[in-house]
Structure formats: C-alpha cells, structure tokens
Amino acid sequence: MRNQGFRHNITKRLLTSASGLAIFKIIPPINFHQDGNAKIELFTGVLPPNPFGRFSGWGCTGRWRRGRNIYPKQLMITRLPIISEQDCRHATPNPVRRICTLDTSRRRGTCTGDEGGPLVSIRNNQLIGVLLFSSFEVGIYPDIFVNLIEPFEQQWVTYNMNILRN
C-alpha cells in the first residue's frame, strides 16, 4: 500500500546538471533482506533489437471529471517497448543520448508522478533508465528516460554511490 512502510530520512543529495539525475542517501538504509525490496544492478551490455523494459511507479492512472489526477494505492508495473535511438532523438531536443519508450497501442505508458521511476531490462532485470519526462499523450509521444547504459551516466552513478557509502 502507498502509505505503509518505514519512514526514511534523506541526509545528502548529489545532483548532476547534465542529465538531471539525483542520488539520495537515506537513513536508516533499506534492508533488502527483510523489507521485501530487491537491489537492482546497473545494466551492462548492449540492448537487443526491439527491446522491452519494465517500468514501475506511483504516477496517476487516470483523471476525475474535475481534472484531478487519480493515483493508485499500490505500486503499478508495466511492460513498455523501447524505441530506436534515432526515433528517441527526434522526440527530445536535448543532444544527450536518452532512452525512450512508446506503446503505439496507446494502452501503456508513464504518467504525472512517475518521474524518477526505474526502467529495468526485462532480459536481465538490470536498471537501464530513470524516467526524466512523462508524456501526457500515451502512445503519441514517447516517455523519456536518462540513459544509464551511457558510460558517463554509469560512471557518475558508481562514483557518487561510493561517496555516499563512506
């Protein structure tokens, strides 16, 4: 459920302006053995052609008549097709390489409140992206993710995670 669980405090935040990533140190640390959570490793390798990712988030699932967003009581998980790098570049004016997802059936996508959520490879359950921008038109415009396959992003995450551990 959305409002159940342990309360954690953020003690330090590191941010890179190049991609919008942030890393937070929380106390007490998440206990991956006891809390039912699982650690997700960074993706290593190359994505195969026509890959899919698994996205999870607490973003809106619809709108009420008065324009207010409806949010789920449980974490939502969906399978999203990852589009080509070329199609993704057309969708974002930023020259930095991104990962984009787009379900042209218009049934699946991200929504307001999902930003910062993980995109995980279905093939090996490793983290390939973090949601940067959620499209308001599911199936028309792609959702845009920070590309954690990029060497610079992986180095930044690894370096700053090591700083926070000490």
DSSP conformation letters of 100-113: EE--TTSS----TT
Closest C-alpha to 140, from 109, 113, 163, 119: 109
Give how many domains the chain has, as a whole number: 1
Structural domain containing residue 115? 39-150
Domain contains 75? yes
Domain contains 79? yes
pLDDT tens per residue across span 87-143: 888 877 776 788 999 999 988 899 888 999 999 999 889 999 999 988 777 888 899
Mean pLDDT to the nearest integer, 61-86: 85
Residue 1 confidence (pLDDT): 38
Place of tokens 């999203």: 80
Domain contains 117? yes
Residue 3 confidence (pLDDT): 44
| Spatial separation of the C-alpha atoms in residues 126 and 131, rounded to whole Å | 15
pTM to 2 decimal places: 0.83
Domain contains 145? yes
Domain contains 6? no
Residue 128 confidence (pLDDT): 95
Q: Cβ distance 144 to 88 under 8 Å?
A: yes
Domain contains 126? yes
Domain contains 17? no
Residue 26 confidence (pLDDT): 76
Domain contains 10? no
Planar angle of CA 148, 151, 156, nearest 5 degrees: 75
**Cα torsion for 89, 114, 23, 100, to the nearest 10°?**
-20
Q: What is the CATH number of the domain that holds 51?
A: 2.40.10.10
3-state secondary structure of 52: strand
- Check pLDDT > 80 for residue 5: no
b/e sequence 45-55, b meaning 16+ C-beta within 10 Å: eebeeebbbeb
pLDDT, the chain, mean: 82
